[in-house]
Amino acid sequence: MFQRLITCIALFGLAAIAQADNHTKTWRGVDLDQQFGIQFEVCQLKPGKTLDDMAKLNGEVRRLFAETGLALSLMRLTPMYSHSMPGEPATSYIDVTMGAIEAFGTGWDNWLASKDALKLMAASNKVATCTFKFARAINRVAQIEALDSTDDRLISMNWCSKRDNVSWDQLKTKHDAWQAAYETDSSSMAWNIVLPRLGAGNAQGRFMHMVSYANAQKLMANENWVANGGGSRALGDYYSAYAACDGESVWNASYLYKNES
């Protein structure tokens, strides 16, 4: 994730802001000085169905997001580097919705009141079985111009648990130090910390580093730092002293709908 960031401080991507001043900043309807909402719709395709079948519904998704007044943005993620091993069942795709927490309340009410939206959900259920997970996200750092320059990116996810001998305040202090160095020296476009909330199951009490890269070259620049630039030692320090993590999975991500408010 963090190329020379961790080297700079002896260790250690869908929303967006560089730290410049204390003025309130918004991006796509989100107050970036506050925690925002992020919803994961985790889906498994049904037998005989493909992502092309789901893509046939994309136009209706965009229409209904606009017509029902959803002040939310939607991305579809498909696996690039999955944790699943060959022969094991894997998540087919994840629809990730982002926006202000209040916008999710209004959005769900408007969506469920729409007959066309309910028809769309029924059509989607014929293609894939999905479960919804709602979380809060802390926007750390991002490059807004880079994020706005393309609708496509790679997103890494790394789920972690705090070490028992480390307090949440100590972990936050560590992350604050990373953030101070991260904005000017990184191969990625964005870094957010995700905190599970509703439908979290076994993930409750954990957190996730979510990082966005512009392309595979940027992703592999980070991997080269891990392999040849001292990153492996730095990551090992974080994992042994601060958090036990599952390791990064990487997803191809593309916008289906962008809130421009």
Question: In the prediction, which pLDDT does 181 show?
Answer: 66
Q: Which helix (H) or strand (E) holds 5?
A: helix 3-9
Indicate the pairing of strand 36-45 with strand 207-213.
Answer: unpaired
pLDDT band at 112 (very low <50, low <70, confident <90, very high): very high
**What domains can you pick out in the chain, each with its CATH number?**
3-257 (3.30.70)
Question: In the prediction, which pLDDT does 8 show?
Answer: 37
40 close to 104: Cβ distance less than 8 angstroms: no
3-state SS assignment for residue 93: strand
Token pair listed for 64: 């209904």
How much of the chain exceeds pLDDT 70, in percent? 85
- pTM: predicted TM-score of the whole model, two decimal places: 0.85
3-state SS assignment for residue 186: coil
Which of 67-71, 80-84, 85-89, 112-116 ranks highest by mean pLDDT? 112-116
Residue type, 1: M
Given a cut of 90, whether residue 107 has pLDDT beyond it is yes
Mean pLDDT, range 34-53, rounded to an integer: 94
Residue 177 or residue 184, greater confidence: 177
